[in-house]
Structure 1
């Protein structure tokens, strides 16, 4: 049996996410857009709720094809809100389109969103012994959040950005006792 970070023991879905994605370096722009979208949707909710709805988000938002999401009409977003099992928060749903547009602007400027986001820091590996030591935000997540907001992103505060950083492996916050601590790339 594997030793995991305690938060991952709540369900098989959380275990799979923890074991195969969280804290592992990701550089694919589609995956980065997916995680940015899901982390924004999670604001005020549990990650378990979002993982339960992940496939619905993939279906609704064309597997996070950023070009398609950037062109969504108001009517299409309303249809998503009414007909898909996503978080129904209107502003969060509309932010997918505006964030996709901002994401594309970054891709044009930097060549990829990955190049942009990874320019802030190489992967950071923390040495936490207890879940209570893991911060909800850092000075770096505040800097990135501020930059993203200036570029037009929504639902992108420092706490959301820190969760995003954990999701894409920019920050590895697996506890010292976690067997998955040294899994660093996909």
Structure 2
């Protein structure tokens, strides 16, 4: 919620998350981010955005696209969980741990298993809608 409320400031500060631009940030641009209005001024997290943009480009170069890379972990098929109660949905699992470890090996930062599990839900690899959910 904290970050979502700061979305506009992050978009403005990080060039609408254009990873090509972010990967090429100069030292001066990076220094300006530490003082940018409306974002969290954690140096490690700010630096991780730049590091991750560079790592993202490397993955695209190696695999043709990040999409191909991430979906290859599930043989390009949705994992359709059949949960009936929200309490069944884990915060992380073996797959999110495996992807997290691979991303870290490739130089990504702040990509732990919980974040990756949420990402897998967001991009549709995991269908965690409850069985009685209208969006299922």
Task: Normalising by structure 1, report the TM-score.
Answer: 0.67
Change over 3 Å in CA distance of 1:143–1:127 after alignment to 2: same
Which structure 1 residue ranges, 5 or more long, are not aligned?
Answer: 1-47, 182-186
What corresponds to 1:97 in structure 2? Answer: 50
2:119 is the alignment partner of 1:167: no
Q: Deviations over 1:3-60 (max 9, x none)?
A: xxxxxxxxxxxxxxxxxxxxxxxxxxxxxxxxxxxxxxxxxxxxx2222222222221
Change over 3 Å in CA distance of 1:84–1:124 after alignment to 2: farther
Higher relative contact order (CA 8 A, sep 6+): 1
Decide which structure has the larger Cα Rg and report it. Answer: 2
- Alpha-carbon offset, residue 88 of structure 1: 2.2
User: What is the DSSP-based 3-state SS (H/G/I as helix, E as strand, rest coil) of the residue aligned with 1:107?
Assistant: helix
**RMSD of the alignment, in Å?**
1.4
Give 2:108's match in structure 1, choosing from 144, 153, 161. Answer: 153
Name the CA distance, whole Å, in 2 between partners of 1:84 and 1:164.
Answer: 27
Give 2:83's match in structure 1, choosing from 128, 132, 148. Answer: 128
- Alpha-carbon offset, residue 132 of structure 1: 1.1
The 4+ residue runs of structure 1 with deviation greater than 4 A are: none
Task: Normalising by structure 2, report the TM-score.
Answer: 0.90
Alignment of 1:133-144 (within 5 A): 133-144=88-99
What corresponds to 1:179 in structure 2? Answer: 134
- Alpha-carbon offset, residue 81 of structure 1: 3.1
Which structure 2 residue ranges, 5 or more long, are not aligned?
Answer: none
- Alpha-carbon offset, residue 172 of structure 1: 1.7
- Alpha-carbon offset, residue 86 of structure 1: 2.0
Change over 3 Å in CA distance of 1:52–1:177 after alignment to 2: farther
What corresponds to 1:106 in structure 2? Answer: 59
Name the CA distance, whole Å, in 2 between partners of 1:50 and 1:180.
Answer: 25
Name the CA distance, whole Å, in 2 between partners of 1:120 and 1:101.
Answer: 21
